[in-house]
Structure 1
Amino acid sequence: MSPSITKPVQILAKAQSFQTIFSHPKMSIVAEAPGYLQVFSDGSVKRFAPETVAASADPSKEFNSKDIVVDPSKPVTARIFIPTAPTSPNSQLPVIVYFHGGGFCIGSTTWQGYHLFLGGLSVVSQSVVFSFDYRLAPEHPLPAAYDDCYDSLEWLSRAADSEPWLQRADLSRVFLSGESAGGNIAHQVVVRAIRNEACGVGIKGLLSIHPFFGSEERTEREMDKESTNEVEMNDMFWGLSLPEGSSRDYYGCNFEAETAAGLGCDEWRRFPATAVYVAGKDFLKERGVMYAEFLRRKGVRVVRLVEAEGESHVYHLFGPESEATGLLLKQMTAFVHGC
């Protein structure tokens, strides 16, 4: 891959109707995330899914899971996780809404890493966990993911009376979370909820894991020659996901541009308590630290920056049962129950 790949891929993503199909062998690859995604010169997209796990309600397990359809017209689906044996059987449980990452182009709540991590999160935090899928780029460039994920909160509020698995969910204590692009989405959903003044649920906190942001201006690490591969991969995903004609200073990429998007001082003070989790070996650590500092400058009342030293990007998905992931689950639990 090279930096020049971004522009033609962006044009293809907006000018053609993409389908997830196997491309004709004569078509050349114009964008690739090895092992996950290929975009071909005819506009077709081929995705490779890692191991997936089916939802199940098994009383012998620590948690149960269930798949639901949120919006059949798009379609948008979700997976619900609940602890099998809650420690307080008669109490209402907080709700954690999780948005998966994948550069806005790949990912699914059915992937094994997500299933195990989020099931574990429901047990450790004693919470109802919703993991929402959303439409992916390049077929559906931004703001499609933001639209779907914001709408998912409104669906959650409407489904409270009809979905049996929501009977113990306390929708006045909702926490948004996500890793990488999902952390970006969680931020945008909070901003939209504040701007609209209502989304049907009470958002009490934001837990952003290794958030995926960027800008036209390069950071010090991004200008380091040793980071060339990471920069090119990030540019590729932004090129596939940004709206036509947008640069990396699009508000969804560059959080500093949020001031132009319209939150005033009083609105920033309504931003929920936020925990930003970064990993010591993660190329995106720099952007995560900048994001936490940005929120503090805006007057957000609680902003915590938590680093996992010696860990890499989304380590909790590649090692959902590791010691480091166990610590992350405890840290997230403490934040949820401390808000």
Structure 2
Amino acid sequence: MASKEVVAEIPTFIKVFSDGSVERPRQTPLVPPSNPDPITKVFSKDVIISENPAISARLYLPTLEKENDKKVPILVYFHGGGFFFESAFSQLYHHHFNTFVSHTNCIVVSVEYRLAPEHPLPACYHDCWHALTSVASDNADPWLLHHGDFNRVFIGGDSAGGNITHNVALRAGREALPGGVKIAGAILSQPYFCSSDLFGSETAAEHEQSMPYVTWTFVYPSAPGGIDNPMINPVGPGAPSLAGLGCSKMIVCVAGDDKIVGERGVWYYDAVKKSGWHGELQLFEENGEDHIYHILHPQSEKAIKLFKRLGLFLHDQ
């Protein structure tokens, strides 16, 4: 019997073996939806968006007053995890969204997209666009049709999901969504970007060994332009103008002690600001916090502070 050898890995995060199997040591357990969550009273359920390719989602519905038929914003969300781990069905994101939805009073569609390396990029970008078009379609889930405000459809994500949000927003600037639905706004939380050029406190000696650099070459080894591919470097050679972002407003959320993506969120915010984009651009900075602090500790004081700010972003017209 042939020995099973490691052929590729990002230490402590993922191993790919010679027989094609994959291990993800840091993947948090998958959990079922709640009906409702005993603490927040948020309801959730899982839906299939597409059989081929395999795309699904977990929907979250806030507690709604029976006598109040006012519709609430819809947030189509793309989870983080470097494009290669985590899940819309994981304990980590389930706990986060139960708290998030209870503070923001919106419907969340948390997308389960295909992961690398089994499905190398750009598969996830296509999956997430497909999910967004399904939300905007006439046969959207009844929770959306009965309780969702299709004049307030937002997209958002953290880390790699923030990167996906950017790329979906650019595509929305080129392609129409079904039914004339427009993206009201985009939320990018500690978004994952990179480039061959250094920014902020990055050093040349460490750059090619950094997590963003290593991850990109792992999840998209055939990327034209490598680390300067427009999907990871939005201001690189051949990148489409950020003035074409297809949403009305955007908030970029960064953490002052972010050890994963560093200051790239501010870099992206500055690039959008200088691009000539006509939307409303906001920056939310939280000092003293690390990467995805609000996902890891959704009931912390600073996470709830962020949720309240995002609630205003979602509801403000």
Shift in Å, 1:26: 4.1
Q: 1:209 aligns with which of 189, 197, 207?
A: 189
**For residues 24-76 of structure 1, what are the alpha-carbon distances to aligned partners after superposition, in whole Å with 9 as ceiling and x for unaligned?**
86413531241x42123555322233133210213755200000111112211
Q: 1:108 Cα deviation (Å)?
A: 0.2
Q: TM-score, normalised by structure 2?
A: 0.89
Tell me by how many angstroms 1:162 deviates.
5.6
Which residue in 2 is equivalent to 1:110? 89
CA distance in 1, matches of 2:198, 2:4: 36
Partner of 2:136: 157
Using the TM superposition, give the Cα deviation of residue 297 of structure 1 relative to its aligned residue in structure 2, in angstroms: 0.7
If each structure's helix is expressed as a fraction of its own residues, which one has the higher value?
1
Determine the structure 1 residue equivalent to 2:256. 280
Q: Is the 8 A contact 1:64 1:81 kept in 2?
A: yes
Structure 2: 5+ residue runs without aligned partners?
Answer: none
Instruction: Supply the AA of the counterpart residue of 1:251.
Output: P
Query: Which residues of structure 1 form unaligned runs of 5+?
Result: 1-23
Structure 1 residue 197, shift from structure 2 partner: 3.3
Alpha-carbon distance in structure 1 between the residues aligned to 2:84 and 2:263: 22
Map 1:182-197 to 2 at 5 A: 182-197=161-176
Q: Secondary structure, in 3 states, of the residue corresponding to 2:228? A: coil
Aligned ranges for residues 22-171 of structure 1 at < 5 Å? 26-28=4-6, 30-34=8-12, 36-41=13-18, 43-48=20-25, 49-58=27-36, 60=38, 61-86=40-65, 89-158=68-137, 160-161=138-139, 163-166=141-144, 167-171=146-150
Structure 1 residue ranges (4+ consecutive) displaced by more than 4 angstroms after TM superposition:
none
Kept in 1: contact 2:242–2:275 (CA 8 A):
no
Secondary structure class of the residue paired with 1:255:
coil
SS in structure 1 of the partner of residue 218 of structure 2: helix
Tell me if the contact between 2:258 and 2:289 (Cα under 8 Å) persists in the aligned partners. yes
Q: Give a deviation string over 1:71-95, Cα, whole Å, max 9, x none.
A: 1122111000011245973111110
Q: Report deviation, 1:253.
A: 0.6
Verify: 1:297 aligned to 2:297, yes or no.
no
Alignment-derived partner of residue 211 in structure 2: 233
Once the two structures are superposed, residues 253-295 of structure 1 have per-residue CA deviations (whole angstroms, 9 ceiling, x without a partner) of 10103x8344485x35x54211100001003241100100011
CA RMSD of aligned residues (A): 2.4
Asked if 1 retains the 8 angstrom alpha-carbon contact of 2:117 and 2:219, the reply is: yes
> In 2, Cα distance between the equivalents of 1:99 and 1:297?
26
- Cα gap change, 1:173 to 1:69, in 2 (>3 Å): same
Partner of 1:13: none
Aligned-pair CA distance for 1:163: 2.4
Match of 2:152 among 164, 173, 186: 173
Residue type at the aligned position of 2:190: H
User: Which whole-Å deviations, capped at 9, do the CAs of 1:224-281 have from their partners, x for residues lacking one?
Assistant: 76xx499432222101222515311111110103x8344485x35x542111000010
Does the CA contact (< 8 Å) of 1:281 and 1:311 recur in 2? Answer: yes
Q: Quick check: 1:311 aligned with 2:285? A: no
Q: TM-score, normalised by structure 1?
A: 0.84
Alignment match, 1:19: none
Paired positions, count: 309
- Match of residue 16 from structure 1: none
% same residue:
35
Q: 1:53 is aligned with what amino acid?
A: V
| 1:195 and 1:263 in contact (8 A); partners too | no
Distance 1:146 1:245 in 2: 13
